[in-house]
Amino acid sequence: MKIAVVSESPTDEAVIKILIDKIAGLASLRARHGGWSNIFRDLSRIINILHYNQPDVEAMVVVMDSDDSPPHESRHDQPGSEDPECRLCRARTIVRVVLAEAKTLPNRAGLKTALGLAVPAIEAWLRCGVDAHVNEVAWSRKLRGEDVSYDRQSLKLDTYGSYQPNTTAAVEAAKRSAENLQLLEELFPNGFGCLLREVRNWAE
């Protein structure tokens, strides 16, 4: 199965490929990256390109950081309960609308999709198994004004040894995190958990 990966950066893309391959043992194909705002700008066009022009791509994975926006919550999954400020909810809405409007093509199955939200950033997933204080619940407390032991900059420093992304370090950390998908889901049940469940649903 070929999968298009839509992410914020080449480093994020490398991490996502490792996690998806671990979840489902599937080959990956890069689509686009360039920051969360560009994902929202380009997502409709990317879906249409994949649907109409790349029939060999069977699935699309979209992952972005939440940064300081509201993390996804399980209650958002209920019909009519989406949070317009939640980036995962926004991306899901775009995907749903574009695919609903897409024309049925002969010999073209519907594009499978899986979306995830790294809270607050993909470096948090890379700290899994290293720092138990880094998790979705703690970040939600921080957004409410509580003092927690990390922020987005410290996550980068702890992961890469600097404030700049380092793909080599990210890949090594991703390989370690991928060995314990259960813990990743426990620490990030909504942002990573939804990605995990949607990818696994492809095989059902």
Q: Please give the C-alpha separations between residue 89 and each of 75, 77, 78, in angstroms, as whole numbers.
A: 11, 8, 11
Beta partners for residue 62, in sequence order: 6, 115
pLDDT digits (tens, 9 = 90+) for 94-130: 999 999 999 999 888 889 999 999 999 999 999 999 9
**Digit-coded pLDDT (tens) for 37-87:** 888 999 999 999 999 998 888 999 999 999 999 998 878 777 777 888 899
Report cis status (omega within 30 of 0) of the bond before 70.
no
Give the DSSP H/E element, type plus range, for residue 31.
strand 29-33
Residue 136 · residue 26 · CB < 8 Å: no
Element holding 71 (H helix, E strand)? none
Beta carbons of 126 and 170 less than 8 angstroms apart: yes
**Residue-range definition of the domain harbouring residue 11:** 2-201
Contacts 24+ apart (CB under 8 A), 48-57: 48/98, 48/102, 50/4, 50/111, 51/99, 51/102, 51/105, 51/108, 51/111, 52/102, 52/105, 54/4, 55/105, 55/107, 55/108, 56/2, 57/2, 57/3, 57/4, 57/29, 57/111
Compute the distance between CA of residue 21 and CA of residue 24 in angstroms, rounded to an integer: 5
Write down the mean pLDDT value for the chain.
Answer: 91
**Total structural domains within the chain:** 1
Q: For 154-170, what is each residue's pLDDT tens digit?
A: 999 999 999 999 999 99
